[in-house]
Structure 1
Amino acid sequence: MYQYDEYDRALVFERVAQFRDQVERFQAGELSEEEFLPLRLQNGLYMQKHAYMLRVAIPYGTLGARQMRTLARIARDYDRGYGHFTTRQNIQFNWIELEQVPDILQHLAEVDMHAIQTSGNCVRNITTEAFAGVAADELIDPRPLAEILRQWSTINPEFLFLPRKFKIAICSAREDRAAIMMHDIGLYLYRDGYGQMCLRVMVGGGLGRTPILGQMIRQGLPWQHLLSYVEAILRVYNRHGRRDNKYKARIKILVKALGIEAFAREVEQEWQHIKDGPAQLTEDEFRRVAEGFEPPAYQGQGDDELEYGSHLTMDRAFARWASRNVHPHKVPGYASAILSTKPGPSAPPGDLTAEQMEAVADWSEQFGFGEIRIAHEQNLILPDVRKRDLHALWRLACEQDLGNANIGLLTDIIACPGGDFCALANAKSIPITHAIQQRFEDLDFIHDLGELSLNISGCINACGHHHIGNIGILGVDKNGSEWYQVTLGGSQGKNSALGKVIGPSFSAEEIPRVIEQIVATYCAYRELDEPFVQTVQRVGLEPFKERVYARAPEVEPCAI
């Protein structure tokens, strides 16, 4: 994994000292709340319902064991003993006292971490898929280019005050696990017919109030022009993006207003002026960064497959976990292990205690090379586990409530913190999540259902990515009370789709029954091994609406 250099460290430590001074001036009354607001947001500090929330950057979702232990220390010493991993591959601490923030940032800086640009109208955390560099279906490791983007965008003065926040994702696997079509800029890295690295560039994606899938504006972009082309897009957005209405300020609105052809022409004209300038990448620069992502010292597989197969045969519970939580690795004898942060009603999705963080850090060293990944589904991944060690890892994970065998299934729910914490939320997400998980406790049943994603957002900002869940739930305000709108048919990946609203919203008490009826309808209509989203596409929304709104006899949950 990439290691900070002297420039990174100098920048981060200077930012800590700067913010310490700003906090002291604010507390002394030398800065007003209005003056302090943009300063704290530039350092990832929000005011939530009950306390300050600090969002810490985890670039492209990669952590080292030492960094995870520092996050555990912050959770224990400065928060209430836990942290929340987000759909942007970051971590949030929800109970922070203002005067302690400079000390927290100091601790982060000492392990090459920070909270810079985790908020504000700037380029946010660069993301990629959690299996980058190790996935069996990967074409090219996208992390060096993700790191180059991180370095380029961090405190880039031209793009610190954009019309609105800006998100970039990159992937390079046969299956898109980075949801690139949902980003302001989505990049797909591949090799052309001559073996040269190229990029497919998508723009104008995003969820929130106006969900839109990104559209391609460039195919076959040579990797050397990555920065100059992204810069051209940002310049066009900076010049034409709306600043009078924050609800219409995202680049997706500009692309929609201009049309993709006109927007692409604007970008092309801008790019012609800068494409051969200082932003053009060189082989030397790429190699300099790529050296930080050299593969670790993998060992020969020996009897790994035999030992792994024996555990699968002898332990049914482990075999079930392996079928959902073990991801194929490009190196024989290794696998990536997914640790579920969705144990059910005992914890909100994405939450880890300090003790769990320390355990994960220990396992990353015991069973791998000290590296941890954060997935945008809010789960954690140990990317390099020998297959013969998977059984031992699973037993330890179960002891820490991180061994649930539900990855990609109905109870692997993506959810934002919602109205329990967020000042913007219209409704609570966590109690709804727990009520659904409680209703579907039968692990055999949800395994038989197969792939089925359920995403929950507490407000229209869509931090829970509800639009792209096979089942999406959105918290809405109705005359001062909490109600929930349901969408069906969303999906992510290369066949991304936005879910469609099935009808009027439901009360919190109704939601578990509604989900139960949706699942029962799916069971009644699906063909052999047909995934949920394909059934919805084939039969349409009407059968689901009839059952949910009681225009047809209610059915019992299916027994598959």
Structure 2
Amino acid sequence: MQSFRTELEDLHNPVVEKEIIDLDKKIRLFQEGKIDETKFKSLRLARGVYGQRQPGVQMVRIKLPFGKINFKQIVRIADLSDEYASKKLHFTTRQDVQIHYVSLDKTPELWVKLAEDDITLREACGNTVRNVTASPNAGIDKDEPFDISPYAQAMFEFFVRNPICQDMGRKFKIAFSSSEKDTAFTFIHDLGFIPKVKFENGQEIRGFKVMLGGGLGAQPLMAHVIEEFLPEDQMIPLTESVIRVFDRYGERNNRNKARFKYLLQKLGLEDVLKLVAEERIANKSTSFHVNTKVFSEVQLSDVKIAPSVEISDKDLYEKWIKSNVYQQKQEDFYCVYVKVLTGDMPSEQARAFANALEGYVADDIRITQNQGLLLKYVRKENLPYVFEKLSELGLATPGFDSITDITTCPGTDTCNLGISNSTEMAKVLEDVLYKEYPELIYNHELKIKISGCMNSCGQHGLAEIGFHGSSIKVAGKIVPAVQVMLGGGSLGDGLGRASERVIKVPTKRAPQVLRALLNDFGANAQEEETFKAYYDRNGKDYFYQLLKPIADQSTLTEDEFIDWGQYEDFKTEIGVGECAGVVVDLVATLLYESEEKLVWAHESFDAKSWADSIYHSYNIYIGTAKALLLSKSITSNTQAGIIKEFDANFVASGEIVLPEGYANFADLVLQINKNQPTEEFAKSYLDIATLFYSEAKKIYAPQSIL
């Protein structure tokens, strides 16, 4: 423990030090039975610590804003995966890195060592603003109006640790695309931004097209366009207002209806935008100017000339050049995409990758949405060297982001919600493609994506050909199956479409499905016709009839009762998912949380962070009111509902007497969106919140408040 504390002090970052000490303290209190399990789960999720399918170990998710990582950080994560985890890095579709099989006791120590290289776990999971994603080629994209990387960085910095998004009803996802090609899939995000420019009086004005309310999961919905051109300085104020509305009005009990897209369904887009407008007065700033020079420009002299090498496989090199290498908008530089099978890279391979390439490309690698890596600023004369080093490591496979580059979640390897083994199926399908359809390594229009369940972590819902794990029952036995999804994908400039469920087939027949689809498309598609257009022209029933013979259950063999990569008959073993966090329903725990927020509100006030103090005070009102309502067995599924119920059950009855001047609890609490975040308002709002909490404790006085 002494060594852990010493390393913590060496960080010289009091904010991170405090967070890690708090995590360590809460772990011990939980193990001593002094913190409720559901409360503790919520706390650790917000710190990137996620329960695995395997009992007693954790998945740790490392949050990397828009997938930006350097060689030193790759080596650090690889070393720590050797020391604390399973000696493997997993790259995710949200541009994070995950490591698995970590002991809960070791997570504070692990976080300390990650923080030494400026890596955080903060809000990588839980009911928070998740990792801000972006087009990996931002900054080098020939089609981009401007580099969105600084804007994504500013978004990350503004909302990490921000009081308005620490305990929402569910997660909130934000994406930036570099151009109208929309390679970050803004249409499936809660908020998506596409850069735009216009000219006024000869001056270039930057802004964004804004998408709101998209999402995949079991019920995919495409985002709405709410701004064709939002000035750049309004990007963060708008986002803050949207998140405030989500926090107050979003569902909190039924996790299946708790995403922002369902709030839009419930209230309607027009009413939600009115609520967003009402929140603008309470924002930290009415205009936010992003430092666009936060990242330094790379020069040719910054990249070393690599040693000359002889190409070992000229045919493979040519395929790799055509499918994985692109010229940047910066003259004399190329970018190289690295295909990583199922997003999994052994730590030994990761270290070798860093040691071989550092100095010969920019020290700015990006994790891609299809679980690969992007190397930037490669000299033309360095391409043979880069190829040879990647080839030695098994990382020079051609076909990046083509149909042969299948995206997949971990499935039943580690996930509680996984139904079937998606990673092994992806490997089998890729093998079919490379052996039987080698010409498709150049097809970047047709994508295959796989998820182990319906929740779309593998993004099957936006693929031209998607599969998600399922099961069917035949003769009293459970057979692993996949739901075949067709016709999804990006349409560009914020538009997209979800794939449609067509048919369910035994999972071992997925290769037959793939062959049937590709053979039919190859034989019957019109010249230059895309798969989406081909699907539309023929219709869903055409593909159902095409695949129906493959789904025939009367011809099942014994092998088909066993999932990919397994040796025993299939069983559905679905645990409790943690992606959405938890609902805490203990009165004493809620009051304890309010007491913590009271401390945070005073700390923020003393630091002159008026907006933060105000929102902590707001949460004191909400949390305390929820606790008192719960003591009478009254529940509500939104914060707005809590305010209404508290007026009806405590204020109207006279059990709680409000300060003079306030007719009801709603008038008191909702001052928050009627006042600017000034020192005067912050003080009065906090003073009343303090009194309110004190009165609540008198009404509900459990023998022990944690």
What TM-score does the superposition give when structure 1 sets the normalisation length?
0.89
Counterpart in the other structure of 1:497: 497
The answer to whether 1:20 aligns with 2:24 is yes
Counterpart in the other structure of 2:259: 250
Q: Which of 222, 225, 228 pairs up with 2:231?
A: 222
Residues 67, 234 of structure 1: CA spacing in aligned structure 2 closer, same or farther, 3 A cutoff? same
User: For the residues of structure 2 that align with 1:529 and 1:217, how far apart are their CA atoms?
Assistant: 33
User: For the residues of structure 2 that align with 1:415 and 1:373, how far apart are their CA atoms?
Assistant: 18
Counterpart in the other structure of 2:245: 236
The answer to whether 1:511 aligns with 2:516 is no
The answer to whether 1:41 aligns with 2:45 is yes
User: For the residues of structure 2 that align with 1:212 and 1:299, how far apart are their CA atoms?
Assistant: 47
SS at match of 1:391: helix
User: CA contact under 8 A between 2:353 and 2:393: conserved in structure 1?
Assistant: no
The answer to whether 1:296 aligns with 2:302 is no
SS at match of 1:549: helix
The answer to whether 1:54 aligns with 2:98 is no
1:133 CA drift (Å): 1.0
Residues 224, 274 of structure 1: CA spacing in aligned structure 2 closer, same or farther, 3 A cutoff? farther
Superposed counterparts of 1:133-148, under 5 Å: 133-148=139-154
SS at match of 1:220: strand
1:366 CA drift (Å): 2.9
Specify every segment of 5 or more residues in structure 1 that has no aligned partner in the other structure, as ranges: 1-5, 343-348, 553-560
Report the more deviating stretch, 314-323 or 508-517. Answer: 314-323
1:450 CA drift (Å): 5.6
- Give the aligned residue type for 2:42: P
Report the more deviating stretch, 391-400 or 53-62. Answer: 391-400
List structure 1 segments (4+ residues) > 6 angstroms apart after TM superposition.
none
Residues 174, 335 of structure 1: CA spacing in aligned structure 2 closer, same or farther, 3 A cutoff? farther
The answer to whether 1:205 aligns with 2:214 is yes
User: CA contact under 8 A between 1:228 and 1:274: conserved in structure 2?
Assistant: no
Superposed counterparts of 1:294-333, under 5 Å: 294-299=296-301, 315-333=314-332
Residues 446, 482 of structure 1: CA spacing in aligned structure 2 closer, same or farther, 3 A cutoff? same
Q: Which of 362, 366, 379 pairs up with 2:359?
A: 366
Q: Which of 451, 457, 462 pairs up with 1:468?
A: 462
Counterpart in the other structure of 1:379: 372
Cα deviation 1:103-142 (Å, max 9, x = unaligned):
1101111000111101111111111111111112111111
Residues 33, 523 of structure 1: CA spacing in aligned structure 2 closer, same or farther, 3 A cutoff? same
The answer to whether 1:353 aligns with 2:346 is yes
SS at match of 1:15: helix
SS at match of 1:496: strand
Counterpart in the other structure of 2:445: 451
Cα deviation 1:226-247 (Å, max 9, x = unaligned):
2211111112222221112110
User: For the residues of structure 2 that align with 1:141 and 1:353, how far apart are their CA atoms?
Assistant: 32
User: CA contact under 8 A between 1:521 and 1:544: conserved in structure 2?
Assistant: no
User: For the residues of structure 2 that align with 1:216 and 1:176, how far apart are their CA atoms?
Assistant: 14
SS at match of 1:135: coil
Residues 462, 139 of structure 1: CA spacing in aligned structure 2 closer, same or farther, 3 A cutoff? same
Cα deviation 1:432-481 (Å, max 9, x = unaligned):
11221232232633336563210001112110000111100011243554
User: CA contact under 8 A between 1:232 and 1:267: conserved in structure 2?
Assistant: yes
Counterpart in the other structure of 1:394: 387
**Is the radius of gyration larger for structure 1 or structure 2?**
2
Residues 163, 33 of structure 1: CA spacing in aligned structure 2 closer, same or farther, 3 A cutoff? closer
Residues 7, 537 of structure 1: CA spacing in aligned structure 2 closer, same or farther, 3 A cutoff? farther
User: For the residues of structure 1 that align with 2:429 and 2:354, how far apart are their CA atoms?
Assistant: 30
User: CA contact under 8 A between 1:377 and 1:414: conserved in structure 2?
Assistant: yes
User: CA contact under 8 A between 1:364 and 1:372: conserved in structure 2?
Assistant: no
Residues 449, 90 of structure 1: CA spacing in aligned structure 2 closer, same or farther, 3 A cutoff? closer
User: CA contact under 8 A between 2:144 and 2:178: conserved in structure 1?
Assistant: yes
1:206 CA drift (Å): 0.4
- Give the aligned residue type for 1:492: S
User: CA contact under 8 A between 1:178 and 1:493: conserved in structure 2?
Assistant: no
Report the more deviating stretch, 491-500 or 197-206. Answer: 491-500
User: For the residues of structure 2 that align with 1:530 and 1:200, how far apart are their CA atoms?
Assistant: 29
Residues 10, 197 of structure 1: CA spacing in aligned structure 2 closer, same or farther, 3 A cutoff? farther
Report the more deviating stretch, 141-150 or 523-532. Answer: 523-532
Q: CA RMSD in A?
A: 2.7
User: For the residues of structure 1 that align with 2:30 and 2:371, how far apart are their CA atoms?
Assistant: 34
Paired residue total: 529
Identity of aligned residues (%): 28
1:364 CA drift (Å): 4.5
User: For the residues of structure 1 that align with 2:80 and 2:511, how far apart are their CA atoms?
Assistant: 35
- Give the aligned residue type for 1:203: L
User: For the residues of structure 1 that align with 2:235 and 2:325, how far apart are their CA atoms?
Assistant: 33
Q: Which of 417, 421, 433 pairs up with 1:424?
A: 417
Superposed counterparts of 1:546-557, under 5 Å: 546-550=545-549
SS at match of 1:492: strand
Residues 241, 190 of structure 1: CA spacing in aligned structure 2 closer, same or farther, 3 A cutoff? same
User: For the residues of structure 1 that align with 2:372 and 2:442, how far apart are their CA atoms?
Assistant: 22
Counterpart in the other structure of 1:537: 536
Residues 435, 268 of structure 1: CA spacing in aligned structure 2 closer, same or farther, 3 A cutoff? same
SS at match of 2:405: coil
User: CA contact under 8 A between 2:93 and 2:370: conserved in structure 1?
Assistant: yes
